[in-house]
Amino acid sequence: MIIRDPIEFPKPSSGWVSFWRWIAAGAQDVGRATLLILRALAGAARLFSKRGRPAFAEQMYTVGIGSLPIITVVALFTGMILALQTGLELRRFNQEIYIGSAVMVSMLREMGPLMSALILSACVGSSMAAQIGTMTVNDEIAALEMLSIDPVRFLMTPRIWAMAVMTPLLSFYTCIVGVMGGALIGSTQLNIQWTQYFDVALKFAREKDLYVGLFKALIYGLVIAGVSCYEGFTTTQGAVGVGRATRGSVVKSFLLILVLGYFVTRGFYNG
């Protein structure tokens, strides 16, 4: 059973009480969202059923193919900006040939997973929150429960697994496009040959950078889907609540992506 009724607290007597109450409410939301994610992941068997395959394929298409145009543009210009800014600084020391390694490592470790996750959060996560939130305020979720259909496995399972599969793939695609954008800037504005650019880029990049980036993307995908679906399931107050849930899913996903990205990087590159 999904708990949607807001918990009423007495009016806080001081600022400290309000602060600690906010901390407690946040911890409660994290706990509930984590349980929802685990329940959704546990329903993976449904994805291979006759009724589950179409929903899973639809979500894969929405997350992956539907996001390709904007991800391509953002990734291309991210790589171009990284190459230009890094190259201009390295030119002061006559080391601009190393921009390939800077762009490659930056895209693999951080920028690829980060940019793809932020785009998916804004484009796909907000849509998930709005769809499920509308169903919640229209009592469609309650109707599913009355029909003995688990709304978490019916609605959230295909979404969270689609995000878990497609986010690392989109992150890798973002890295490739970003590196190509950096090569374009290197050849047109910094007089670096394509072969030199890619030789240096591949020389300094390590397999660990790729694995860490893909792991980050996987975590980001689970976070985006979990936060968005949780916001949708806990929506109240009609159309106003749907708007709040949509905004909340994007804001919370952004914050968690940045925070978790730091701790994952610290864990893998701690010295």
Give residue limits of the domains in the chain.
Answer: 52-268
73 vs 2, 126, 190, 211, CA distance in Å? Answer: 39, 20, 22, 24
Under the banding of pLDDT at 50, 70 and 90, the label for residue 29 is confident
Side-chain-facing half-sphere of 70: CA atoms under 13 Å: 15
pLDDT of residue 31: 82
List the structure tokens of 166.
């497609």
Q: Are 99 and 89 in contact (CB under 8 A)?
A: no
Whether residue 269 has pLDDT greater than 90: no
User: Cα(107)–Cα(213) distance, rounded to whole angstroms?
Assistant: 8
Q: What is the pLDDT of residue 148?
A: 85
CB 196 within 8 Å of CB 6? no
Q: Report whether 111 contacts 178 (CB < 8 A).
A: yes
Distances (CA, A) of 127 to 227, 235, 249: 12, 14, 10
166 pLDDT higher than 60: yes
Q: Which pLDDT band, with edges at 50, 70 and 90, does 33 fall under? A: confident
In a 13 Å sphere around the CA of 187, the CA atoms on its Cβ side amount to 12
Round the average pLDDT of the chain to a whole number and report it.
87
pLDDT of 1: 46
pLDDT band at 7, cuts 50/70/90?
A: low
Name the pTM for this structure.
0.88
